[in-house]
Structure 1
């Protein structure tokens, strides 16, 4: 009997539409490869139905909360259903930007200075936080929700009169946020597939800011693969990415975003443990650069499922 694969897509997060695009692309790929695969949207069907409907494996194409934060991974382990991607703890930490940065910093990896703000503290005493902490970072700054993907809720702030509004926007998506030093430089992303570091990609975004619209809407965003890094820079970036990946205990596939400053230093920005698989996604682009087709990539990810310990 062919194993029945559930492609988990959609969900309830703010990244639902991106997840639907990723999940449907994965589903069609699996079907082309002769896999007995079906779409399963946790928004419309209780996840516990996976067992009663006879699914053997889950391919997770859910982005953001409810899919990338360890919660769905925990349910799948309870159901004894193998799944793609990282496990419970690594998923939970990776979606939490502050905790990710704390682990990276403790491992000696390069992270940008930031201020962590919880909503209750902001509501109580905004001006105290502003004067005592944020001023020390100097403008420009990036304000971002702590637990959100796809650059949703992120604002680039050039002056004090823009700051409060940017913070309020970020709090619409998370109860804790980061105000981070903005470094002007060249942005790169580097993908990991199992234990293999794929070629880096240079991201060229309008206004030098790779926000949600630059990722999914603007045709002006350009991607270079090969990225233009020299051999030494590429090797340095690969070592940093591997160390960052291992520090969080990640598995399967993922993507790490970095920026290269004017002094030729790389800075880690964030990690994505369930990379997009849309027609604009960077993991498939990087895999294709070394001859791995989209269908081959999907099968490689499927074959690296986490085996539940129950």
Structure 2
């Protein structure tokens, strides 16, 4: 098949996405597909007269990429684009997508997980991997996901949604219940997530999170073990326990070697695995997600799981969590990529 692996974009998770996309593209080419990597934001400035010949480009147009310790400088990325268009979709991106048999979405964060690119591809009648635009948008918005979890009876820490400005920070810092977690409603890769230990740190968190927007989720902090469970098709994969090397599991810890130890399968009881797997499947189905997802949990001191959020397009580098879970049940990385493609081809997208 001709497959466009769409990655990059202009979100804070750009570098993560490019590593995901490059890994997936090479795996799909190894499976015999004519796969190419296309950067959603930069696109391709110079192309041959026959765009279809690009599907046979050496190494699938994959760049040399890595995830650095700090989030990317998006202003510098914008300056790379020759046309300097304000569009988030680069030159020839949609033309290439329209020529493909399916688009593998290797995007993360804004424009990828929020349903907008899915909606654009729906309008073009282009097949793509993963969930549709509405489930993607609901999963991306942490407050919407929380409401759906409450409705479905999925245990999640107590939460409240705040809309405020800098002038409100002092009052909130003195009155919000502690301990708590402060997070933006639409972030990912642990960006825009704060774990204040005291009210001075809470004041700082409430100020810094406003960089991501004025809609802020404040959640009861439950101490315990960090767990995550992938869903593939109609089954839950083995849980992974994430043990950070340092106190906080931030962006750098998440993506740098030695930042955390990931235990898969997690050292938990069969009953705990079954309960978290059932909850991950329930949330996946409640939101109407498709093909695959990954749900994050805290397992408290009493062994009770608390659902935090769901990722509709989880990381797909060979070292990412879902590929590790798949490997634990005997599914190599290339086979996992193929499975996601085949599951997605079977999804009936709704017509509106």
TM-score (norm 1): 0.92
Counterpart residue number, 1:223: 262
Q: Does 1:36 align with 2:63?
A: no
Q: 1:71 to 1:225 in 2, by over 3 A?
A: same
Range moving further from structure 2, 236-245 or 8-17:
236-245
Distance 1:234 1:215 in 2: 23
Counterpart residue number, 1:63: 108
Counterpart residue number, 1:142: 181
Q: Does 1:201 align with 2:240?
A: yes
Partner of 1:304: helix, strand, or coil? helix
Distance 2:350 2:303 in 1: 43
Counterpart residue number, 1:289: 328
CA drift at 1:170:
1.6
CA drift at 1:211:
2.1
Distance 1:220 1:151 in 2: 13
Q: Does 1:176 align with 2:219?
A: no
Q: Does 1:49 align with 2:99?
A: no
Range moving further from structure 2, 178-187 or 84-93:
178-187
CA drift at 1:308:
4.0
Q: Does 1:243 align with 2:282?
A: yes
Distance 1:208 1:298 in 2: 33
CA drift at 1:309:
4.4
Q: 1:212 to 1:220 in 2, by over 3 A?
A: closer
Counterpart residue number, 1:126: 169
Counterpart residue number, 1:92: 137
Q: Deviations over 1:74-105 (max 9, x none)?
A: 00101101110111111001010011001101
- Does the CA-based 8 Å contact 1:80-1:308 persist in structure 2? no
Match of 1:26 among 11, 24, 28: 24
Q: Deviations over 1:22-65 (max 9, x none)?
A: 0000000011111011111111234432356x222100000001
Aligned residues: 301
Distance 1:243 1:203 in 2: 22
Range moving further from structure 2, 270-279 or 294-303:
270-279
- Does the CA-based 8 Å contact 2:161-2:215 persist in structure 1? yes
Distance 2:289 2:317 in 1: 22
Match of 1:101 among 137, 146, 162: 146
Q: CA RMSD in A?
A: 1.6
- Does the CA-based 8 Å contact 1:216-1:280 persist in structure 2? no
- Does the CA-based 8 Å contact 1:144-1:154 persist in structure 2? yes
The unaligned stretches of length 5 or more in structure 2 are 44-89
The unaligned stretches of length 5 or more in structure 1 are none
Q: Which has the higher contact order (CA 8 A, sep 6+)?
A: 1
TM-score (norm 2): 0.82
CA drift at 1:216:
0.6
- Does the CA-based 8 Å contact 2:141-2:185 persist in structure 1? yes
Counterpart residue number, 1:266: 305
- Does the CA-based 8 Å contact 1:83-1:307 persist in structure 2? no
Partner of 1:162: helix, strand, or coil? helix
Counterpart residue number, 1:298: 337
Range moving further from structure 2, 43-52 or 32-41:
43-52
Q: 1:185 to 1:295 in 2, by over 3 A?
A: same
